A and B are shown apart, each in its own frame.
Chain A
Amino acid sequence: MAKELLKGNIAMAEAAIRAGLEGYFGYPITPQTELLEWMSERMPALGRAFLQAESEVAAINMLYGAACTGARVMTSSSSPGISLMMEGLSYIAGTEVPVVIIDVVRGGPGLGNIAPSQGDYNQIVHGGGHGDYHPIVLAPASVQEAIDLVVLAFDLAEKYRTIVFVMADGNIGQMMEPAELPPMRPIKSEYPHWAVRGAMGRERRILSSIYIDPKDEEVTNYRLMQVWNQIQANEVRYREYFLEDADTVVIGFGTAGRIALSAVRAARAEGIKVGLLRPITLSPFPAPQIENLIQRVKGFLVVEMNAGQMLDDVLKVVKGRVPVEFYGRMGGMVPFPDEILAEIQRMSREDIPLDGDPRQRWMKRLAPVIHWQN
């Protein structure tokens, strides 16, 4: 198929439809509303279910029920709406039914604003809902990658009976880039052995997240952890840029990752041996890849559009063996490549301490930048 110039939100919606989406449940919120809007036109036209719920709380519970039928279903929202979905999300995790959720992250906390942000990292990657569960989290950095990851999300969700998030941000949602959509897959004709679709002529099946006896709940938790171990072993995805001879490695995902790519290229043009590791799966986290790099690099620079949420995951892997620096912009601010380039240049000049807190050092450097803007 030929490339088309596609807006991220619409590309993600159409990719889901072509992946065989049977039901969409959602509630409008900027900056992802075009996604829901596209669904509202396309899904009924194809004879599939589109439902604009009365709230995000309703949408996630409709998604939960629909997922229990074994159908391919999804919802999408942006940060405050995702917060509202957390209870339902935990129920979905506890019931072990596959769903896909797209979070087009915006500036927060609170009502915040509608600018691009990565402030939902901790809520999405490290839970948000109650109990022990680990969703798969995919972070696209371009419109094409957003399409590919939405399709992958459905396959992974069904393979592991798990929640898969596609965590984009306002930039990915609003940007237009040439991209190729996949061919239309037929709606599935066979449903999994656990699906609840009417029990005429067979044993009754029950899907629930209630395990009144803690012994049963522990068995369920153990099973969830076994699945999570498989996911960690098999589903780590990332992209590497200029890592062959790099002595400094920038780590950034999504929009922050691609902005870092511009900075890395500019630094390379100055002869600085710097590379980029761009995690595509935030969960499972590419810890083994970072572990390998520790053996041969002088330091890491973590770049995010938040106050260092992934930074903590990097520090957990590095364990003080090489210096780690951080640069982030918060609240819907998006860094320019020049800011990241200045950090790379500084790291190539200065000795970065092994001890101390990279977040505290960053706050000191950021203060005059914020001051200057006002």
Chain B
Amino acid sequence: MQTEILIAGFGGQGVLFAGQILAYAAMDAGREVTWIPSYGPEMRGGTANCTVIISDEEIGSPLVLNPTAVIALNLPSLEKYEPMVKPGGVLIVNASLVNRGPRRLDIDNVFIPVNEIAERLGNRRLLNMVAVGALLAKLPVLTLDQIKQALEDHLPERHKKFMQANLLALQEGADFALQAQGVKVE
């Protein structure tokens, strides 16, 4: 059993860290895991993505054509990766930054305004944790408690003051995804 999660957005949206926290939680749960970033001559405001694979056996390819789940934090990421989600998979979209609805009937779509939710919680930089919360509500590969524990154990000391805000963001994201009605496919 293998689960592949691709997280994509602008540099600065916390794409790579969102993947790392999933990877830490998976490792602490005793699973096999790989985290691999797209790396290149990239900079703040450019595109960034990473792929996390969680498995019960030795992981082969660290990259897959059709991931189980995609988190698209901006419009270019939605356009690029929406067609790639494995049928029956999950697509989490940052509704704050896209001007259209979903296009696929065969996957679980969650359009969630992570920017607004994060701002309401007092810090726009929490948007990645809101998205991770929404993802795990739809894709129970790890529990929110496991993510919270991973934050406790692996968040750098200087960021520990944001601990409570991160936990709140995860919960808000999960609550939104669970309450969201089925979105209308264009």
A237 within 8 A of B: no
Contact assessment for B61 and A259 in the assembled complex, using a CB-CB cutoff below 8 Å: yes
Contact assessment for B24 and A5 in the assembled complex, using a CB-CB cutoff below 8 Å: yes
A3-B27, A336-B65 given; A114·B60 CB < 8 A: no
Contact assessment for A178 and B33 in the assembled complex, using a CB-CB cutoff below 8 Å: yes
A58 within 8 A of B: no
Contact assessment for B40 and A171 in the assembled complex, using a CB-CB cutoff below 8 Å: no
The A-contacting residues of B in range 63-120, CB under 8 angstroms, are: 63-65
Contact assessment for B65 and A176 in the assembled complex, using a CB-CB cutoff below 8 Å: no
Closest B-chain residue to A261, C-beta based?
B60
User: A174, A260, A336, A338: which contacts B36 (Cβ < 8 A)?
Assistant: A174
Contact assessment for A258 and B36 in the assembled complex, using a CB-CB cutoff below 8 Å: no
The B-contacting residues of A in range 95-132, CB under 8 angstroms, are: 114-115
Q: Cβ of B23: which chain A residues have Cβ within 8 Å of it?
A: 5, 176
A61 within 8 A of B: no
Query: CA A176 – CA B22 in complex, angstroms?
Result: 12
Contact assessment for A262 and B65 in the assembled complex, using a CB-CB cutoff below 8 Å: no
A262-B61, A337-B61 given; A114·B33 CB < 8 A: no
Task: Mark interface residues in A180-211 (1 if CB within 8 Å of B CB, else 0).
Answer: 00000000000000000000000000000000
A151 within 8 A of B: no
A175 within 8 A of B: yes
Q: How many residues of B contact A (CB 8 A)?
A: 22
Q: Cβ of A336: which chain B residues have Cβ within 8 Å of it?
A: 61, 63-65
Q: Cβ of A337: which chain B residues have Cβ within 8 Å of it?
A: 60-61, 64-65
The A-contacting residues of B in range 30-71, CB under 8 angstroms, are: 32-37, 39-41, 58-65
A265 within 8 A of B: yes
User: B39, B41, B59, B65: which contacts A174 (Cβ < 8 A)?
Assistant: B39
A170 within 8 A of B: yes
A37 within 8 A of B: no
B41 to chain A, nearest CB (A): 7
Query: CA A263 – CA B65 in complex, angstroms?
Result: 12
A31 within 8 A of B: yes
A327 to chain B, nearest CB (A): 14
A232 to chain B, nearest CB (A): 28
B166 to chain A, nearest CB (A): 18
Contact assessment for B59 and A258 in the assembled complex, using a CB-CB cutoff below 8 Å: yes
Query: CA A131 – CA B40 in complex, angstroms?
Result: 36
A177 within 8 A of B: yes
Query: CA A31 – CA B154 in complex, angstroms?
Result: 25
User: B20, B24, B32, B60: which contacts A262 (Cβ < 8 A)?
Assistant: B60
User: B35, B39, B64, B154: which contacts A177 (Cβ < 8 A)?
Assistant: B35
A312 to chain B, nearest CB (A): 25
Closest A-chain residue to B62, C-beta based?
A175
Q: Cβ of A114: which chain B residues have Cβ within 8 Å of it?
A: 39-41
Known contacts A5-B24, A177-B34, then 19 further A-B pairs from the complex at CB < 8 Å, ordered by chain A residue: A5-B35, A31-B39, A170-B39, A174-B36, A174-B37, A174-B39, A176-B20, A176-B23, A176-B34, A258-B62, A259-B63, A261-B61, A262-B60, A263-B61, A264-B60, A334-B63, A336-B63, A336-B64, A337-B60
Can you list 5 A-B contacts (CB < 8 A)?
A115-B40, A176-B35, A178-B27, A258-B62, A336-B61
The 3 closest A-B pairs by CB, nearest first: A262-B60, A261-B60, A259-B61
